[in-house]
Structure 1
Amino acid sequence: MHSELSFIDLFLQASVLVKSVMLCLLGFSIASWTMIIQRSKALNKAKVQVQQFEDKFWSGADLSRLYKEISGRGNPNGIESLFIAGFKEFARIRKSPESNSQAVVDGTHRAMRVALSREVDTLETHLSFLATVGSISPYIGLFGTVWGIMNSFIALGAVQQATLAMVAPGIAEALIATAMGLFAAIPAVMAFNRFSHSVEKLENSYGNFMEEFSSILQRQAMTPRSA
Protein backbone atom coordinates (compact mmCIF):
# COMPACT_ATOMS: atom_id res chain seq x y z
CA MET A 1 0.00 0.00 0.00
CA HIS A 2 1.45 3.33 -1.04
CA SER A 3 0.05 6.58 0.27
CA GLU A 4 1.53 10.03 -0.15
CA LEU A 5 0.06 13.34 0.87
CA SER A 6 1.54 16.59 -0.38
CA PHE A 7 1.64 19.84 1.54
CA ILE A 8 -1.26 21.14 -0.56
CA ASP A 9 -3.35 18.06 0.22
CA LEU A 10 -2.69 18.41 3.94
CA PHE A 11 -3.55 22.10 3.81
CA LEU A 12 -6.84 21.46 1.98
CA GLN A 13 -7.82 18.75 4.44
CA ALA A 14 -7.11 20.88 7.49
CA SER A 15 -9.86 22.55 9.47
CA VAL A 16 -10.77 26.19 8.88
CA LEU A 17 -8.96 27.32 12.02
CA VAL A 18 -5.75 25.45 11.14
CA LYS A 19 -5.91 26.86 7.59
CA SER A 20 -6.26 30.34 9.07
CA VAL A 21 -3.22 29.76 11.28
CA MET A 22 -1.16 28.55 8.30
CA LEU A 23 -2.17 31.53 6.15
CA CYS A 24 -1.38 33.91 9.01
CA LEU A 25 2.08 32.39 9.42
CA LEU A 26 2.66 32.49 5.67
CA GLY A 27 1.79 36.19 5.72
CA PHE A 28 4.20 36.77 8.62
CA SER A 29 6.95 34.96 6.74
CA ILE A 30 6.46 36.97 3.53
CA ALA A 31 6.29 40.27 5.42
CA SER A 32 9.38 39.48 7.52
CA TRP A 33 11.44 38.47 4.47
CA THR A 34 10.41 41.69 2.72
CA MET A 35 11.57 43.71 5.72
CA ILE A 36 14.74 41.65 6.06
CA ILE A 37 15.75 42.46 2.48
CA GLN A 38 14.86 46.14 2.88
CA ARG A 39 16.69 46.54 6.21
CA SER A 40 19.73 44.71 4.91
CA LYS A 41 20.03 47.12 1.98
CA ALA A 42 19.45 50.18 4.20
CA LEU A 43 22.03 49.16 6.83
CA ASN A 44 24.64 48.23 4.23
CA LYS A 45 24.09 51.61 2.59
CA ALA A 46 24.52 53.35 5.95
CA LYS A 47 27.81 51.50 6.59
CA VAL A 48 29.19 52.51 3.19
CA GLN A 49 28.08 56.11 3.76
CA VAL A 50 29.90 56.28 7.10
CA GLN A 51 33.13 55.06 5.51
CA GLN A 52 32.89 57.43 2.54
CA PHE A 53 31.98 60.45 4.65
CA GLU A 54 34.70 59.88 7.24
CA ASP A 55 37.31 59.44 4.49
CA LYS A 56 36.29 62.80 3.05
CA PHE A 57 35.92 64.52 6.43
CA TRP A 58 39.31 63.44 7.78
CA SER A 59 41.09 64.16 4.51
CA GLY A 60 41.33 67.80 5.58
CA ALA A 61 38.40 69.11 3.53
CA ASP A 62 37.18 72.61 4.34
CA LEU A 63 34.16 72.27 6.63
CA SER A 64 32.24 75.16 5.05
CA ARG A 65 32.76 73.74 1.59
CA LEU A 66 31.77 70.25 2.77
CA TYR A 67 28.65 71.70 4.39
CA LYS A 68 27.61 73.45 1.17
CA GLU A 69 28.28 70.31 -0.88
CA ILE A 70 26.12 68.07 1.31
CA SER A 71 23.38 70.68 1.76
CA GLY A 72 23.24 71.19 -2.00
CA ARG A 73 22.34 67.54 -2.56
CA GLY A 74 19.28 67.90 -0.31
CA ASN A 75 17.81 65.48 2.25
CA PRO A 76 21.01 64.47 4.07
CA ASN A 77 20.76 61.28 6.08
CA GLY A 78 22.91 59.06 8.24
CA ILE A 79 26.16 60.53 9.50
CA GLU A 80 25.82 63.43 7.06
CA SER A 81 22.72 64.65 8.92
CA LEU A 82 24.76 64.84 12.15
CA PHE A 83 27.40 66.93 10.43
CA ILE A 84 24.79 69.24 8.86
CA ALA A 85 22.93 69.70 12.16
CA GLY A 86 26.12 70.41 14.12
CA PHE A 87 27.72 72.78 11.64
CA LYS A 88 24.46 74.65 11.00
CA GLU A 89 23.93 75.24 14.71
CA PHE A 90 27.60 76.18 15.12
CA ALA A 91 27.33 78.84 12.40
CA ARG A 92 24.05 80.16 13.80
CA ILE A 93 25.32 80.57 17.36
CA ARG A 94 28.65 82.02 16.24
CA LYS A 95 26.79 84.89 14.58
CA SER A 96 25.40 85.99 17.93
CA PRO A 97 27.64 88.65 19.53
CA GLU A 98 26.81 87.38 23.04
CA SER A 99 27.87 83.79 22.31
CA ASN A 100 30.91 82.15 23.89
CA SER A 101 32.76 78.94 23.20
CA GLN A 102 30.81 76.95 25.80
CA ALA A 103 27.45 78.10 24.39
CA VAL A 104 28.60 77.10 20.91
CA VAL A 105 29.70 73.66 22.06
CA ASP A 106 26.52 73.01 24.06
CA GLY A 107 24.27 74.14 21.23
CA THR A 108 25.98 72.10 18.54
CA HIS A 109 26.11 69.04 20.78
CA ARG A 110 22.36 69.24 21.47
CA ALA A 111 21.61 69.64 17.77
CA MET A 112 23.67 66.59 16.89
CA ARG A 113 22.10 64.55 19.71
CA VAL A 114 18.65 65.23 18.23
CA ALA A 115 19.89 64.26 14.76
CA LEU A 116 21.50 61.11 16.21
CA SER A 117 18.24 60.08 17.86
CA ARG A 118 16.33 60.51 14.60
CA GLU A 119 18.87 58.51 12.63
CA VAL A 120 18.86 55.64 15.12
CA ASP A 121 15.05 55.55 14.98
CA THR A 122 15.30 55.32 11.19
CA LEU A 123 17.86 52.51 11.37
CA GLU A 124 15.63 50.56 13.77
CA THR A 125 12.62 50.71 11.43
CA HIS A 126 10.75 47.35 11.32
CA LEU A 127 13.08 45.70 13.85
CA SER A 128 10.27 45.53 16.40
CA PHE A 129 8.11 43.69 13.83
CA LEU A 130 10.85 41.11 13.27
CA ALA A 131 11.18 40.65 17.02
CA THR A 132 7.41 40.17 17.32
CA VAL A 133 7.32 37.61 14.50
CA GLY A 134 10.22 35.72 16.03
CA SER A 135 8.50 35.67 19.43
CA ILE A 136 4.90 34.76 18.59
CA SER A 137 5.12 32.64 15.42
CA PRO A 138 6.08 29.38 17.20
CA TYR A 139 3.18 29.82 19.62
CA ILE A 140 0.70 30.54 16.84
CA GLY A 141 1.92 27.44 15.02
CA LEU A 142 1.70 25.41 18.22
CA PHE A 143 -1.88 26.59 18.72
CA GLY A 144 -2.77 25.34 15.24
CA THR A 145 -1.06 22.03 15.95
CA VAL A 146 -2.86 21.50 19.26
CA TRP A 147 -6.20 22.35 17.66
CA GLY A 148 -5.60 19.99 14.73
CA ILE A 149 -4.51 17.09 16.94
CA MET A 150 -7.48 17.66 19.24
CA ASN A 151 -9.87 17.43 16.29
CA SER A 152 -8.12 14.26 15.08
CA PHE A 153 -8.58 12.52 18.42
CA ILE A 154 -12.17 13.67 18.69
CA ALA A 155 -12.87 12.15 15.28
CA LEU A 156 -10.96 9.02 16.30
CA GLY A 157 -13.20 8.56 19.29
CA ALA A 158 -16.27 8.33 17.06
CA VAL A 159 -15.12 5.11 15.34
CA GLN A 160 -15.09 1.62 16.80
CA GLN A 161 -11.78 0.44 15.36
CA ALA A 162 -8.99 3.03 15.21
CA THR A 163 -5.89 2.63 13.07
CA LEU A 164 -2.78 4.70 12.56
CA ALA A 165 -3.79 5.37 8.95
CA MET A 166 -6.94 7.07 10.18
CA VAL A 167 -5.21 9.49 12.57
CA ALA A 168 -1.90 10.07 10.76
CA PRO A 169 -3.16 12.59 8.14
CA GLY A 170 -4.84 14.72 10.79
CA ILE A 171 -1.73 14.78 12.97
CA ALA A 172 0.48 15.51 9.96
CA GLU A 173 -1.60 18.49 8.85
CA ALA A 174 -1.56 19.79 12.42
CA LEU A 175 2.21 19.47 12.74
CA ILE A 176 2.67 21.53 9.57
CA ALA A 177 1.38 24.54 11.51
CA THR A 178 4.26 24.17 13.98
CA ALA A 179 6.74 23.76 11.13
CA MET A 180 5.43 26.93 9.47
CA GLY A 181 5.68 28.76 12.79
CA LEU A 182 9.34 27.84 13.06
CA PHE A 183 9.90 28.69 9.39
CA ALA A 184 8.60 32.20 10.04
CA ALA A 185 10.30 32.66 13.42
CA ILE A 186 13.86 31.46 12.82
CA PRO A 187 14.80 33.89 10.00
CA ALA A 188 13.09 36.75 11.84
CA VAL A 189 15.06 36.11 15.05
CA MET A 190 18.36 35.71 13.21
CA ALA A 191 17.76 38.90 11.20
CA PHE A 192 16.70 40.83 14.31
CA ASN A 193 19.89 39.88 16.18
CA ARG A 194 22.09 40.67 13.18
CA PHE A 195 20.41 43.99 12.46
CA SER A 196 20.43 45.01 16.11
CA HIS A 197 24.18 44.44 16.21
CA SER A 198 24.62 46.47 13.00
CA VAL A 199 22.52 49.34 14.38
CA GLU A 200 24.56 49.31 17.59
CA LYS A 201 27.82 49.54 15.63
CA LEU A 202 26.46 52.37 13.47
CA GLU A 203 25.21 54.21 16.55
CA ASN A 204 28.69 53.92 18.08
CA SER A 205 30.22 55.26 14.86
CA TYR A 206 27.78 58.18 14.86
CA GLY A 207 28.46 58.87 18.54
CA ASN A 208 32.23 58.80 18.07
CA PHE A 209 32.00 61.19 15.14
CA MET A 210 29.72 63.49 17.13
CA GLU A 211 32.24 63.73 19.99
CA GLU A 212 35.18 64.26 17.63
CA PHE A 213 33.31 66.88 15.61
CA SER A 214 32.28 68.63 18.84
CA SER A 215 35.96 68.88 19.80
CA ILE A 216 36.80 70.42 16.42
CA LEU A 217 33.99 72.95 16.72
CA GLN A 218 35.06 73.77 20.28
CA ARG A 219 38.56 74.62 19.06
CA GLN A 220 37.12 76.75 16.29
CA ALA A 221 34.79 78.49 18.74
CA MET A 222 37.80 79.49 20.85
CA THR A 223 39.55 81.17 17.91
CA PRO A 224 38.97 84.88 17.18
CA ARG A 225 35.93 85.60 15.01
CA SER A 226 38.02 87.28 12.37
CA ALA A 227 39.88 84.00 11.85
Structure 2
Amino acid sequence: MNQASVSVAGAADLSPWALFLQSDIIVKGVMVGLLLASIWSWAIIIDRARRLKQINKEAAKFEDHFWASDSIDNLYDKSQKSKHPSAQVFNAGMNEWRRSLGKGRFDREGVRARLTSIMSVAIGREIDELSDRLNILATVGSVAPFVGLFGTVWGIMRAFTSIAATQNTTLAVVAPGIAEALFATAIGLFAAIPAVIGYNRLLHGIGRLEARLQHFAEEFHGLLSRQLDQMEEK
Protein backbone atom coordinates (compact mmCIF):
# COMPACT_ATOMS: atom_id res chain seq x y z
CA MET A 1 0.00 0.00 0.00
CA ASN A 2 2.76 2.42 0.92
CA GLN A 3 4.71 1.44 -2.17
CA ALA A 4 1.67 2.18 -4.39
CA SER A 5 1.25 5.56 -2.72
CA VAL A 6 4.90 6.37 -3.37
CA SER A 7 4.50 5.35 -7.02
CA VAL A 8 1.47 7.61 -7.44
CA ALA A 9 3.28 10.48 -5.76
CA GLY A 10 6.30 9.93 -7.98
CA ALA A 11 4.11 9.92 -11.08
CA ALA A 12 2.44 13.12 -9.93
CA ASP A 13 5.83 14.74 -9.37
CA LEU A 14 6.75 14.00 -12.99
CA SER A 15 3.62 15.62 -14.47
CA PRO A 16 4.26 18.55 -16.86
CA TRP A 17 3.00 21.13 -14.36
CA ALA A 18 5.11 19.64 -11.56
CA LEU A 19 8.18 19.61 -13.83
CA PHE A 20 7.62 23.27 -14.61
CA LEU A 21 7.25 24.21 -10.95
CA GLN A 22 10.34 22.19 -9.91
CA SER A 23 12.60 23.78 -12.55
CA ASP A 24 14.79 26.77 -11.75
CA ILE A 25 14.20 30.31 -13.00
CA ILE A 26 16.33 29.88 -16.16
CA VAL A 27 14.50 26.78 -17.35
CA LYS A 28 11.16 28.33 -16.40
CA GLY A 29 12.03 31.36 -18.55
CA VAL A 30 12.93 29.09 -21.48
CA MET A 31 9.65 27.18 -21.17
CA VAL A 32 7.50 30.31 -20.90
CA GLY A 33 9.30 31.93 -23.83
CA LEU A 34 8.77 28.85 -26.00
CA LEU A 35 5.09 28.64 -25.08
CA LEU A 36 4.60 32.31 -25.97
CA ALA A 37 6.42 31.74 -29.28
CA SER A 38 4.12 28.81 -29.99
CA ILE A 39 1.01 30.90 -29.29
CA TRP A 40 2.32 33.69 -31.50
CA SER A 41 3.08 31.21 -34.29
CA TRP A 42 -0.41 29.72 -34.16
CA ALA A 43 -1.95 33.21 -34.26
CA ILE A 44 0.03 34.02 -37.42
CA ILE A 45 -0.79 30.67 -39.03
CA ILE A 46 -4.53 30.97 -38.39
CA ASP A 47 -4.68 34.63 -39.47
CA ARG A 48 -2.74 34.12 -42.72
CA ALA A 49 -4.57 30.87 -43.58
CA ARG A 50 -7.93 32.61 -43.22
CA ARG A 51 -6.78 35.57 -45.29
CA LEU A 52 -5.46 33.35 -48.07
CA LYS A 53 -8.70 31.41 -48.19
CA GLN A 54 -10.75 34.62 -48.34
CA ILE A 55 -8.47 36.21 -50.96
CA ASN A 56 -8.66 33.17 -53.25
CA LYS A 57 -12.43 33.16 -52.93
CA GLU A 58 -12.63 36.88 -53.78
CA ALA A 59 -10.13 36.46 -56.64
CA ALA A 60 -12.24 33.74 -58.25
CA LYS A 61 -15.35 35.90 -57.92
CA PHE A 62 -13.61 38.98 -59.35
CA GLU A 63 -12.17 37.06 -62.31
CA ASP A 64 -15.64 35.72 -63.13
CA HIS A 65 -16.98 39.29 -63.12
CA PHE A 66 -14.02 40.44 -65.20
CA TRP A 67 -14.58 37.96 -68.03
CA ALA A 68 -18.34 38.33 -67.91
CA SER A 69 -18.23 42.14 -67.99
CA ASP A 70 -19.09 43.94 -71.23
CA SER A 71 -16.95 46.95 -70.33
CA ILE A 72 -13.75 47.04 -68.30
CA ASP A 73 -14.43 50.72 -67.63
CA ASN A 74 -17.69 49.85 -65.85
CA LEU A 75 -15.92 47.12 -63.88
CA TYR A 76 -13.18 49.59 -62.95
CA ASP A 77 -15.73 52.06 -61.60
CA LYS A 78 -17.27 49.31 -59.45
CA SER A 79 -13.96 47.92 -58.18
CA GLN A 80 -12.51 51.17 -56.81
CA LYS A 81 -13.33 50.26 -53.21
CA SER A 82 -12.23 46.63 -53.49
CA LYS A 83 -9.13 45.82 -51.45
CA HIS A 84 -8.36 42.25 -52.46
CA PRO A 85 -5.18 41.66 -54.57
CA SER A 86 -6.88 40.86 -57.90
CA ALA A 87 -8.82 44.13 -57.81
CA GLN A 88 -5.69 46.04 -56.79
CA VAL A 89 -3.76 44.67 -59.75
CA PHE A 90 -6.66 45.46 -62.08
CA ASN A 91 -7.03 48.98 -60.69
CA ALA A 92 -3.30 49.64 -61.04
CA GLY A 93 -3.40 48.59 -64.68
CA MET A 94 -6.52 50.65 -65.39
CA ASN A 95 -5.05 53.74 -63.72
CA GLU A 96 -2.00 53.56 -65.96
CA TRP A 97 -4.17 52.80 -68.99
CA ARG A 98 -6.32 55.88 -68.47
CA ARG A 99 -3.33 58.10 -67.77
CA SER A 100 -1.64 56.93 -70.96
CA LEU A 101 -4.71 57.44 -73.14
CA GLY A 102 -5.44 60.80 -71.56
CA LYS A 103 -2.28 62.24 -73.10
CA GLY A 104 -3.74 62.01 -76.57
CA ARG A 105 -0.73 60.76 -78.51
CA PHE A 106 1.07 57.80 -76.99
CA ASP A 107 3.69 55.21 -77.76
CA ARG A 108 2.18 51.72 -77.87
CA GLU A 109 5.33 49.94 -76.74
CA GLY A 110 5.81 52.46 -73.95
CA VAL A 111 2.24 51.89 -72.76
CA ARG A 112 2.74 48.12 -72.82
CA ALA A 113 5.98 48.39 -70.85
CA ARG A 114 4.44 50.67 -68.26
CA LEU A 115 1.41 48.40 -67.85
CA THR A 116 3.70 45.42 -67.27
CA SER A 117 5.79 47.34 -64.75
CA ILE A 118 2.82 48.84 -62.87
CA MET A 119 0.99 45.54 -62.49
CA SER A 120 4.18 43.73 -61.46
CA VAL A 121 4.73 46.32 -58.74
CA ALA A 122 1.11 45.91 -57.59
CA ILE A 123 1.53 42.13 -57.40
CA GLY A 124 4.79 42.50 -55.48
CA ARG A 125 3.18 44.89 -53.02
CA GLU A 126 0.27 42.52 -52.32
CA ILE A 127 2.55 39.49 -51.93
CA ASP A 128 4.88 41.39 -49.61
CA GLU A 129 1.94 42.36 -47.42
CA LEU A 130 0.74 38.75 -47.22
CA SER A 131 4.26 37.47 -46.55
CA ASP A 132 4.67 39.80 -43.60
CA ARG A 133 5.37 37.91 -40.35
CA LEU A 134 6.19 34.65 -42.11
CA ASN A 135 9.77 35.33 -41.10
CA ILE A 136 8.59 34.94 -37.50
CA LEU A 137 7.44 31.39 -38.27
CA ALA A 138 10.78 30.64 -39.92
CA THR A 139 12.63 32.03 -36.91
CA VAL A 140 10.57 30.09 -34.39
CA GLY A 141 10.90 26.90 -36.45
CA SER A 142 14.69 27.14 -36.64
CA VAL A 143 15.51 28.63 -33.22
CA ALA A 144 12.99 27.01 -30.85
CA PRO A 145 14.67 23.56 -30.79
CA PHE A 146 17.99 25.15 -29.84
CA VAL A 147 16.37 27.28 -27.15
CA GLY A 148 14.75 24.11 -25.78
CA LEU A 149 18.12 22.38 -25.97
CA PHE A 150 19.68 25.21 -23.99
CA GLY A 151 17.03 24.66 -21.29
CA THR A 152 17.80 20.94 -21.36
CA VAL A 153 21.54 21.43 -21.00
CA TRP A 154 21.01 23.91 -18.17
CA GLY A 155 18.60 21.55 -16.41
CA ILE A 156 20.97 18.59 -16.73
CA MET A 157 23.84 20.67 -15.34
CA ARG A 158 21.62 21.58 -12.40
CA ALA A 159 20.64 17.92 -11.93
CA PHE A 160 24.27 16.78 -11.86
CA THR A 161 25.11 19.56 -9.43
CA SER A 162 22.31 18.33 -7.17
CA ILE A 163 23.59 14.74 -7.46
CA ALA A 164 27.08 15.84 -6.54
CA ALA A 165 25.79 17.80 -3.57
CA THR A 166 23.67 14.96 -2.18
CA GLN A 167 26.06 12.18 -3.30
CA ASN A 168 23.02 10.13 -4.17
CA THR A 169 22.70 8.58 -7.65
CA THR A 170 19.46 6.65 -7.16
CA LEU A 171 16.81 6.94 -9.89
CA ALA A 172 14.44 8.77 -7.54
CA VAL A 173 16.97 11.58 -7.20
CA VAL A 174 18.15 11.68 -10.83
CA ALA A 175 14.81 11.28 -12.63
CA PRO A 176 13.08 14.59 -11.73
CA GLY A 177 16.05 16.75 -12.78
CA ILE A 178 16.57 14.85 -16.05
CA ALA A 179 12.82 14.87 -16.77
CA GLU A 180 12.48 18.63 -16.26
CA ALA A 181 15.51 19.17 -18.51
CA LEU A 182 14.09 17.03 -21.31
CA PHE A 183 10.72 18.72 -20.88
CA ALA A 184 12.31 21.96 -22.13
CA THR A 185 13.37 20.22 -25.35
CA ALA A 186 9.87 18.80 -25.77
CA ILE A 187 8.37 22.28 -25.51
CA GLY A 188 10.94 23.54 -28.02
CA LEU A 189 9.81 20.89 -30.51
CA PHE A 190 6.17 21.65 -29.67
CA ALA A 191 6.78 25.25 -30.74
CA ALA A 192 9.02 24.50 -33.74
CA ILE A 193 7.13 21.75 -35.58
CA PRO A 194 3.84 23.66 -36.18
CA ALA A 195 5.82 26.78 -37.09
CA VAL A 196 7.81 24.93 -39.77
CA ILE A 197 4.74 23.18 -41.18
CA GLY A 198 2.72 26.41 -41.12
CA TYR A 199 5.54 28.36 -42.79
CA ASN A 200 5.87 25.85 -45.62
CA ARG A 201 2.13 25.61 -46.20
CA LEU A 202 1.60 29.36 -46.15
CA LEU A 203 4.59 29.94 -48.42
CA HIS A 204 3.14 27.43 -50.86
CA GLY A 205 -0.28 29.12 -50.72
CA ILE A 206 1.21 32.58 -51.25
CA GLY A 207 3.29 31.26 -54.16
CA ARG A 208 0.16 29.88 -55.82
CA LEU A 209 -1.64 33.18 -55.27
CA GLU A 210 1.28 35.08 -56.80
CA ALA A 211 1.17 32.82 -59.87
CA ARG A 212 -2.58 33.38 -60.12
CA LEU A 213 -2.17 37.16 -59.99
CA GLN A 214 0.59 37.04 -62.59
CA HIS A 215 -1.60 34.98 -64.93
CA PHE A 216 -4.47 37.44 -64.47
CA ALA A 217 -2.13 40.39 -65.09
CA GLU A 218 -0.82 38.78 -68.29
CA GLU A 219 -4.35 38.12 -69.56
CA PHE A 220 -5.41 41.66 -68.71
CA HIS A 221 -2.28 43.02 -70.36
CA GLY A 222 -3.09 41.02 -73.48
CA LEU A 223 -6.61 42.44 -73.56
CA LEU A 224 -5.36 46.02 -73.31
CA SER A 225 -2.63 45.32 -75.85
CA ARG A 226 -5.23 44.19 -78.38
CA GLN A 227 -7.15 47.39 -77.77
CA LEU A 228 -3.98 49.36 -78.51
CA ASP A 229 -3.61 47.52 -81.80
CA GLN A 230 -7.22 48.32 -82.72
CA MET A 231 -6.65 52.02 -81.93
CA GLU A 232 -3.60 52.07 -84.19
CA GLU A 233 -5.54 50.51 -87.06
CA LYS A 234 -8.23 53.22 -86.76
TM-score range (shorter-chain normalised) is: over 0.9
Q: Residue 10 in 1 paired to residue 38 in 2? A: no
Misfit runs of 4+, over 6 Å: none
Q: Distance in 2 between matches of 1:161 and 1:88?
A: 79
What is the aligned partner in structure 2 of residue 21 from structure 1?
A: 30
What is the aligned partner in structure 2 of residue 90 from structure 1?
A: 97
Q: Distance in 1 between matches of 2:184 and 2:79?
A: 51
What is the aligned partner in structure 2 of residue 182 from structure 1?
A: 189
Q: Residue 209 in 1 paired to residue 216 in 2? A: yes
Q: Tell me, what secondary structure is at the counterpart of 1:110? A: helix
Unaligned stretches of 5+ residues in structure 1: none
CA contact (8 A) 2:59 2:84 kept: no
What is the aligned partner in structure 2 of residue 136 from structure 1?
A: 143
Unaligned stretches of 5+ residues in structure 2: none
1:52 to 61, 68, 75: 61
Structure number having the greater helix percentage = 2
CA contact (8 A) 2:69 2:75 kept: no
RMSD: 1.6
Q: How many residues align?
A: 225
What is the aligned partner in structure 2 of residue 146 from structure 1?
A: 153
TM-score under structure 2 length normalisation: 0.92
Q: Tell me, what secondary structure is at the counterpart of 2:104? A: coil
Deviation of 1:55 after TM superposition, in Å, equals 1.1
Identity %: 43
Q: Residue 40 in 1 paired to residue 49 in 2? A: yes
Deviation of 1:161 after TM superposition, in Å, equals 3.3
> Which amino acid is the alignment partner of residue 90 of structure 1?
W
CA contact (8 A) 1:100 1:221 kept: no
Cα gap change, 1:75 to 1:66, in 2 (>3 Å): closer
1:67 to 66, 76, 80: 76
TM-score under structure 1 length normalisation: 0.95
Deviation of 1:77 after TM superposition, in Å, equals 2.7
